[in-house]
Amino acid sequence: MATAARVVSSDAVPESLLNAFWAYDTALLANDTARLMNLFAPGPDTLRGDGRTLLVGHDEISAFRSARSRVPTRHVHEVHVRMLGEDTALTLAPTRDGAARGMQTQLWERRDGHWRILAAHVTNAAVAPQAVRPEACDPRIWRIVGTPLARHRADGPLSGHTFAAKDLFAVQGQSRGAGNPTYLAQQHPEPRHAAAVSALLDAGADLVGIAHTDEFAFGIGGTNVHYGTPPNPAAPGRTSGGSSSGPASAVALGHVTVGLGTDTAGSVRVPASYQGLFGLRTTHGALDTDGLLALAPSFDTIGWITRTLDDLHAVATALLPPAAPDHPPTRTAIIAHSLTYVDADIRDAFTATVSDLVARGAIPEPTFFDIAPSTLEQWFTAFRVVQAYEAWREHGTWLAANPDAVAADVTQRFAAGAAVTKSELSTALAAVAEARATLRNILSDTAILMPSTSGPAPDVTATGDEFDAIRSNTLRLTTLAALAGAPAISMPLLHDATGRPVGLSVVLAPGADLGLLRYARRLQPTNL
């Protein structure tokens, strides 16, 4: 049974043992009680324990499993095996669920040619939401928090959920800061909530607070010279990813269940990838952007970040309009040259994961589209020109009046927009239209798969040149969905050679947002 999770052992491990291990994992993630119980040794001496209780005997374990309806969302990171004898083995498997960590320990015995579990202990990887006290909030993550800052208006499908709003969304009674203290000081309190904030409150969620962003959302690193870099609990010492950096870290740390963000060129998918979370970029224009501070309206979309696919889907069901019956994609595509932008170990992990998904029947064998590198580069350049032009159009007046208020690297990006000529803009708009038509034609019956980012989160001490190289390669991946105006999801299904998370992205046709989440469920019960 194929898997991309690393097996660590100094012993010769029987393939039949690994097959039994992965059969158990597959059954667990499918909540298939019959198959699970077939893998526990029969009799009164079998044990299963966790942090709360110890179950003794096959019948007691079976009754416990039959009563459970929740399907786990954690995945196995690696498997350590110690052979205690020819027919006895111990397995320890670290597990991950977003930023949370767990451990699965099993004692196996082979009888009559079949491996079964004699004893098992599970350390739960769940992270319970933690209330954030205003006096204790991390200033790298939060601009302001309340208890809550805004309470839900009525019970609804998101009752019990809490969210952090990126500091681009209007929150009634608060000023928008856009990640810049000078801009914040010059704003007036907002008279009403942004449409997306209102929709979440109407659906039953509570707004905990306003979380930081890269300045004006014009960045994907998560760094902010004024407020600091939010922590990345999935990769300590590494950047959080941005520009929806604060909401992502708030979710990863369990402060909230939902991070409300925006995605122009990857600003939801990048922090989700770097922090081992789920992130959804919605179809361009699918949600009302009233009350949202724009960056580049031709590409700006609303999105959100969660620790679980269930939560991601719950928010989508509450916010997105009911979808017409969708036609699931019949093909899977990989844009061949896009993999040249990816670190070698992530390329290997992606290839192994796709192979595993094909072997499990989750997706069809992918088709490799050979879009010429020069064409992809032309599209990327066009995106950058239009994005920069629109960003300057939105904020140029304020920037000209406050020339020293913004970090140097962000200032350079805005300056590029100020320098765009009419001829350059016209050429870029034509290339964007060509890219959109080509990509939408592919997406009409096809799901495009790719790594969400070029690699794991960079070290916070990386040089400017290192950050620029990572940013450049990652944007060449993330802007494909933006050019198409299409929905895209990042799922925490990949990791580098040292275990740091990287997302796997799926892009579907514009308007297929809910279908994309249903498609993602096919990928989720995995042995990764």
Query: What confidence score (pLDDT) does residue 147 get?
Result: 87
- What is the β-pairing status of strands 162-166 and 78-85? unpaired
Do residues 482 and 368 both lie within one domain? yes
Domain C-terminal end among 287, 319, 351: 319
1 assigned to some structural domain? no
Q: How confident is the model at residue 524 (pLDDT cuts 50, 70, 90)?
A: confident
Do residues 438 and 518 both lie within one domain? yes
Whole-prediction pTM: 0.77
Euclidean distance between CA atoms 330 and 477, whole angstroms: 22
Do residues 390 and 261 both lie within one domain? no
User: In the predicted model, what is the mean pLDDT of the chain?
Assistant: 92
Euclidean distance between CA atoms 18 and 13, whole angstroms: 8
Residue 106 has φ and ψ, to the nearest 5°, of -140, 135
Do residues 374 and 241 both lie within one domain? no
Residues near 505 by Cβ (< 8 Å), separated by ≥ 6? 269, 273, 449, 450, 451, 452, 477, 478, 481, 488, 489, 490, 491
30 assigned to some structural domain? yes
What percent helix, strand, coil does the chain show, rounded to 5?
A: 35, 25, 40
Judge whether residue 29 has pLDDT over 90: no
Q: What is the mean pLDDT of residues 52-78?
A: 76
Judge whether residue 75 has pLDDT over 60: yes
Residue 428: CA atoms inside 13 Å, Cβ hemisphere, count? 20
Euclidean distance between CA atoms 345 and 179, whole angstroms: 34
Residue 7: CA atoms inside 13 Å, Cβ hemisphere, count? 21
Query: What confidence score (pLDDT) does residue 526 get?
Result: 42
Q: Mind spelling out the 3-state secondary structure of 388-437?
A: HHHHHHHHHHHHHHCCCCCCHHHHHHHHHHHCCCHHHHHHHHHHHHHHHH
129 assigned to some structural domain? no
Give DSSP secondary structure letters for 204-231.
T-EEEEEE--SGGG--SS---TTT-PPP
Euclidean distance between CA atoms 352 and 363, whole angstroms: 13
Q: How confident is the model at residue 1 (pLDDT cuts 50, 70, 90)?
A: very low
Tens-place pLDDT, residues 241-287: 999 999 999 999 999 999 999 999 999 999 999 999 999 999 999 99
Judge whether residue 133 has pLDDT over 70: no
Measured torsion, CA atoms of residues 31, 35, 36, 37, in degrees rounded to the nearest 10: 130
Judge whether residue 72 has pLDDT over 90: no
End-to-end CA distance of the chain: 12
Judge whether residue 327 has pLDDT over 50: yes
Judge whether residue 128 has pLDDT over 50: no
- Is 422 one of the catalytic residues? no
204 assigned to some structural domain? yes
Query: What confidence score (pLDDT) does residue 49 get?
Result: 87
346 assigned to some structural domain? yes
Residues near 375 by Cβ (< 8 Å), separated by ≥ 6? none
**Which position has the token pair 């929806």?**
244
Judge whether residue 14 has pLDDT over 90: yes
377 assigned to some structural domain? yes
Is residue 230 within 8 Å of 270, Cβ to Cβ? Answer: no
Q: Which of 92-101, 221-230, 287-296 has the lowest mean pLDDT?
A: 92-101
Q: Which two tokens stand for residue 331?
A: 């093909």
Measured torsion, CA atoms of residues 518, 519, 520, 526, in degrees rounded to the nearest 10: 110
Q: What percentage of the chain carries pLDDT values higher than 90?
A: 81
The alpha carbon of residue 205 and the mean position of all alpha carbons in its chain are separated, in whole angstroms, by 20
Tell me, what DSSP letter sits at residue 457? Answer: P
CATH code of 174's domain: 3.90.1300.10
Query: What confidence score (pLDDT) does residue 7 get?
Result: 84
Do residues 254 and 382 both lie within one domain? no
Tens-place pLDDT, residues 393-435: 999 999 999 999 999 999 999 999 999 999 999 999 999 999 9
337 assigned to some structural domain? yes
Do residues 342 and 310 both lie within one domain? no
Do residues 101 and 143 both lie within one domain? no
- Is 243 one of the catalytic residues? yes
Structural domain total, the chain: 3
Q: Is residue 148 helix, strand or coil?
A: strand
The conformational region for residue 67 under phi > 0 = left, psi -120 to 50 = alpha, else beta, is: alpha
Closest-CA residue to 167 (of 100, 115, 98, 214):
214
Q: Mind spelling out the 3-state secondary structure of 153-177?
A: CCCCCCCCCEEEEECCECCECCCCC
Judge whether residue 322 has pLDDT over 90: no
Do residues 253 and 342 both lie within one domain? no
Q: What is the mean pLDDT of residues 311-315?
A: 97
Q: Which two tokens stand for residue 264?
A: 């122009």
Do residues 228 and 108 both lie within one domain? no
Domain C-terminal end among 88, 123, 158: 123
Give the domain range for residue 237.
134-319
Closest-CA residue to 255 (of 275, 227, 281):
275
412 assigned to some structural domain? yes
Is residue 274 within 8 Å of 266, Cβ to Cβ? Answer: no
- Find the length of the chain: 528
CATH code of 14's domain: 3.10.450.50
Closest-CA residue to 269 (of 464, 483, 472, 454):
454
Domain C-terminal end among 123, 149, 181: 123
Query: What confidence score (pLDDT) does residue 96 get?
Result: 74
Judge whether residue 232 has pLDDT over 50: yes
For residues 165 and 69, the model is more confident at 165
Do residues 140 and 204 both lie within one domain? yes
Query: What confidence score (pLDDT) does residue 131 get?
Result: 59
Euclidean distance between CA atoms 229 and 141, whole angstroms: 8
CA-based R_g, the chain, Å = 24
Closest-CA residue to 158 (of 205, 208, 201, 206):
205
Is residue 429 within 8 Å of 384, Cβ to Cβ? Answer: no
Judge whether residue 520 has pLDDT over 90: yes
Query: What confidence score (pLDDT) does residue 50 get?
Result: 79
Judge whether residue 527 has pLDDT over 50: no
Residue 268 has φ and ψ, to the nearest 5°, of -100, -45
Q: How confident is the model at residue 224 (pLDDT cuts 50, 70, 90)?
A: very high
Judge whether residue 127 has pLDDT over 80: no
Euclidean distance between CA atoms 169 and 312, whole angstroms: 19
Do residues 47 and 92 both lie within one domain? yes
Q: Is residue 12 helix, strand or coil?
A: coil
Do residues 113 and 181 both lie within one domain? no
Tens-place pLDDT, residues 368-382: 999 999 999 999 999
Annotated active-site residue in 198, 244, 249, 267? 267
- What is the β-pairing status of strands 258-262 and 206-211? unpaired
